[in-house]
Amino acid sequence: MAAMNTIDRIERAVRETSHYVKRNLGTHAGKRGQTNPSDEVQTGADVWSDDLFFDALAPLDGVGSYTSEERSETVDCGEGYAIAIDPLDGSGNLASNNSVGTIVGVYDRPLPTSGRDLVAAMMVLHGPYTTMTVARADSDVVQEYLLRDGHNERRGVFELPEDYAVVGIAGKPIDRSEQVNALAEDLQRDLKLRYGGATVADLAQVLEYGGLFGYPKSEVYPEGKLRIHFEAAPLAYLVEAAGGDSSDGQKSLLDVEPGGLHARTPTFLGNSELIEQVEAALGGG
């Protein structure tokens, strides 16, 4: 058996921590009333899961730093890859007992940096069952695992279907631009509406059925809501590896240069034809 490399070790630590998170999530779902570095209210589960992932990932050989959506600063851990993590993506869904997940980006350069420096991206989805989807520079496939009872099984590989069926675009029409509203209306004419409020869960629908997920800029979020390092770039890496595309409205999300650790971007992920449609509609800004 080949020796484990650093990405194998990161993958294993994310899987094992995710098993534990899933089993204990309900006990930590209450609001705590503090805010994260993006000024959003954290749930107890955000802080709890961040501590768990930190304890599992920071000591690994080959991990050089740990940066989280829940911490203002990067924690230096030695020499090696820079980890960027959203430990509990979609935690606003906890109160209503809907899906949440985890997103991990592994960069081979210190942050801030663009998604072109990613060497792996992982997304865990806590739905009716827990899955983990992994794209790596050293693998040709986007692999999905089923995580159950402390055990992991290969469940299949993701390749975006040629046809597409679903669309989910975030935000209230009253806060979005006219161009975004026109695009959404157009797409919703022949695609099924799927928006649940956790990026990982909404993206899982796009990976499975084909389609488009979007979090555009709006009056509430003039730069978009999703963070480049922790959400947009790692998910773009996954989708592009699965044969799809990504965009901030003009270019691939992997080419967006973050102005800081918690910088945000408008985010569109999905089938190439739909991303072309997004850029044709919004390319002017």
* Residues in the annotated binding site for substrate: 195, 225
Q: Which x/- pattern over 104-133 shows residues binding ligand FDP (rule: CB under 6 A)?
A: ------------------------------
Q: How far is the CB of 103 from ligand FDP (least distance, A)?
A: 9
If binding is defined by CB under 6 A, does position 211 make contact with ligand FDP? no
- 130 backbone dihedrals φ, ψ, rounded to 5°: -105, 130
Within 153-192, which residues bind ligand FDP (CB under 6 A)? Answer: 170
Using CB under 6 A, pick the residue from 99, 199, 205, 265 that binds ligand FDP.
199
According to DSSP, residue 8 is labeled H
Stretch that binds ligand FDP, among 89-97, 118-126, 140-148, 159-167 (CB under 6 A): 89-97
If binding is defined by CB under 6 A, does position 36 make contact with ligand FDP? no
Using CB under 6 A, pick the residue from 197, 223, 243, 279 that binds ligand FDP.
197
If binding is defined by CB under 6 A, does position 92 make contact with ligand FDP? yes
According to DSSP, residue 229 is labeled I
From CA 86, how far away is CA 91, in angstroms rounded? 10
If binding is defined by CB under 6 A, does position 70 make contact with ligand FDP? no
Specify the residue, 26 or 150, whose C-beta has the smaller distance to ligand FDP.
Answer: 26
Q: Assign 10 to helix, strand or coil.
A: helix
Q: With b meaning 16 or more CB within 10 Å and e meaning fewer, what string describes 74-102?
A: beebeebbbbbbbbbbbbebbeeeebbbb
Using CB under 6 A, pick the residue from 6, 36, 49, 91 that binds ligand FDP.
91
Of 238, 245, 237, 241, nearest in space to 276 by CA: 245
**Residues 120 and 135: beta-carbon distance below 8 Å:** yes
Q: Which residue has the tokens 């210190």?
A: 110
Q: Summarize as ranges the residues that interact with ligand FDP (CB under 6 A).
A: 40, 89-92, 170, 197-199, 225-226, 231
